[in-house]
Structure 1
Amino acid sequence: MCNDHADPKVTRRHLMAGTLALAAAGATLSAAQAQTSEAAPATPEDALQRLMDGNARYIANAPINIDHSVGRAARAAGQQPFAAIVSCSDSRVAPELLFDQGPGALFVVRLAGNFINEDGLASLEYGAAVLGIKLIVVLGHSACGAVDATIASIQDNTLPPGHLPSLVNAIRPAVYEVMPSEPENLLAAATAQNARSNAERAQTQGPILAELAAAGNLRAVAAHYEIATGTVSLL
């Protein structure tokens, strides 16, 4: 998350004030323009389309981002990711691969269960206000062990050992929200609801993210990754 080209005093002042002035982040962005041959997406919708196009290439086994040495020197000068991905830590879920994006294109926040805690929220604020990301994707996935463990904890009325209860407590609201409807596949329903709830938080949490979203400069969406097929579907 380091950036040698941003003025730390300006960055801290604007982040603490919750203003939108750093959305431009001129010095940071200009330092990283050479990272990719593609122009930075102009809108959140453009950013989403770029991700979905990349996923289509991944499914077709026709990636274009295969030479990671290209742009290495430029990346040392700064970063300009166009989207943030809130992803599960599951080893089978690799955002850069499944969206066919090269180094420097995605700002990834990962932890088991792909929920947004205070640290994740701060990371997304940095990505949006300082790095200029246009889009946040909260990406759930099939056979999520963290959601499955939360369901088991609720059904058995027990908590897992160690620090795992913190994961269960974060995911629990999504499970409770879908349980009354008695879905045929509780794991799938809870996984989807967990992604939706966290995407909503990413777009409405003030002051920084909510202000950017209200101005049309940021969008958050929920999505689901099917491991067996490689397909990302918007929820």
Structure 2
Amino acid sequence: MPELTASSLMEHHQAASTLVALLEGNGRFLAGEPRYKRDITAAREAAPGQTPSAAVFTCIDSRVTAESVFDCDFGQLLVVRTAGHVPDRAAVGSLEFAVAELGVALVVVLGHERCGAINAALHAVEDDAHDPRTDYLVEQLWQPASQAWSETKEPEEAASRAMRLQVRRTVADLGRRENLDGVLVVGAVYDLDTGRVTLIDEN
């Protein structure tokens, strides 16, 4: 993943401003002082059209709700979800659509601790076995799970490493997509216990 430096962010003025706004929204979420109610009034106001400023590609985990985590209202954020944020064709196509049709300039790949898909892959690698119910996901997540086990034998640490490796792999994958050229793609981690979002290179 490209290093997030001041100069690289300056090349993406709009996207960098949006990223700052998302992190500020996470600050409001942490403080228990959200700006947006996301009630029926807001839904009706947004109904005529949408101009989202960012897309979040995250996991299907029910505890990870991007609109709340970043304190965004209706129409402000596009969210694409797959287990373990595996960038399959539909997910990538959705992000490409967001860029081409809606002008999104920022994609945040948001991982989280205690990810069930990551844990399934870790167990499969450890046992060198596959489960027909999770074969596709395990196949897609085998590399980060395998690398994590090669770096540590402590299960919680392996899970954390595998998740971060998968975030970086996803960011790199999206960064190579021609249809996402010029888009700022960054990786981040959501802490289930504290609610804090941290850019991946700060972890």
Q: Where on the TM-score scale, by shorter chain, does this alignment land: which range?
A: 0.7 to 0.9
Tell me, yes or no, if the aligned pair for 1:115 and 1:195 is still in contact at 8 Å. no
Alignment deviations for residues 23-61 of structure 1 (CA, whole Å, 9 cap, x no partner): xxxxxxxxxxxxxxxxxx961101110110000000110
Residue in 2 aligned with 1:234? 199
Structure 2 spans left out of the alignment, 5+ residues: 1-11
Root mean square deviation, CA, Å: 1.7
| Structure 1 residue 165 corresponds to structure 2 residue 123 | no
Counterpart CA distance in 1 for 2:197 and 2:41 is 27
Partner of 2:145, secondary structure, is: helix
Instruction: Map 1:166-185; keep pairs closer than 5 Å.
Output: 166-182=136-152, 184=154, 185=157
Equivalent position of 2:5 in the other structure: none
Matched, 1:49 2:20: yes
SS where residue 48 of structure 1 aligns? Answer: helix
Matching residue of 2:56: 85
Q: Per the alignment, in what secondary structure is the counterpart of residue 174 of structure 1?
A: helix
Match of 2:32 in 1: 61
TM-score computed with the length of structure 1 as normaliser: 0.75
Q: Please, which runs of 5 or more residues in structure 1 have no aligned partner? A: 1-40
How far did residue 223 of structure 1 move? 0.6
- Match of residue 194 from structure 1: 166
Identity %: 32
Match of 1:5 in 2: none
**Which residue identity does 2:65 align to in structure 1?**
A
Please state how far the C-alpha of 1:202 moved relative to its aligned partner.
Answer: 1.4
Equivalences for residues 102-117 of structure 1 within 5 A: 102-117=73-88
Instruction: Report which stretch shifted further, 122-131 or 71-80.
Output: 71-80
Once the two structures are superposed, the pairs formed by residues 215-230 of structure 1 within 5 Å of their partners are 218-230=183-195
Amino acid at match of 2:143: P
Contact 2:69 2:195 in 1 (8 A): yes
Using the TM superposition, give the Cα deviation of residue 64 of structure 1 relative to its aligned residue in structure 2, in angstroms.
Answer: 0.5
Question: Aligned pair in 2 of structure 1 residues 42, 79: CA closer, same or farther (>3 Å)?
Answer: farther
Residue 72 of structure 2 is aligned to residue 101 of structure 1? yes
Provide the C-alpha distance between the structure 1 equivalents of 2:18 and 2:137, rounded to a whole number of angstroms: 30
Q: Secondary structure at the match of 2:84?
A: coil
1:156 shift after superposition: 0.6
Q: Confirm or deny that 1:151 pairs with 2:113.
A: no
> Can you list the C-alpha shifts for 1:86-105, whole angstroms capped at 9, x where unaligned?
11111111000010001111
Q: SS of the counterpart of 2:78?
A: strand
Task: State the secondary structure of the residue aligned to 1:193.
Answer: helix
1:92 maps to a residue whose letter is R
Residue 67 of structure 1 and its aligned partner are, at CA, apart by 4.3
Name the larger-Rg structure: 1
Query: What is the rounded CA distance, in whole Å, between the counterparts of 1:234 and 1:126 in structure 2?
Result: 25
Match of 2:4 in 1: none
Cα deviations across residues 88-130 of structure 1 (Å, max 9, x unaligned)? 1111110000100011111110121112111111000000111
d(CA) in 2 for partners of 1:61, 1:183: 37
Q: Amino acid of the residue matched to residue 143 of structure 1?
A: R
Q: Distance in 2 between matches of 1:134 and 1:183?
A: 39
Name the amino acid aligned to 1:106.
L
1:174 is matched by which residue type in structure 2? P
| Structure 2 Cα separation of the partners of residues 176 and 76 of structure 1 | 45
Scaled by the length of structure 2, the TM-score of the pair is: 0.86
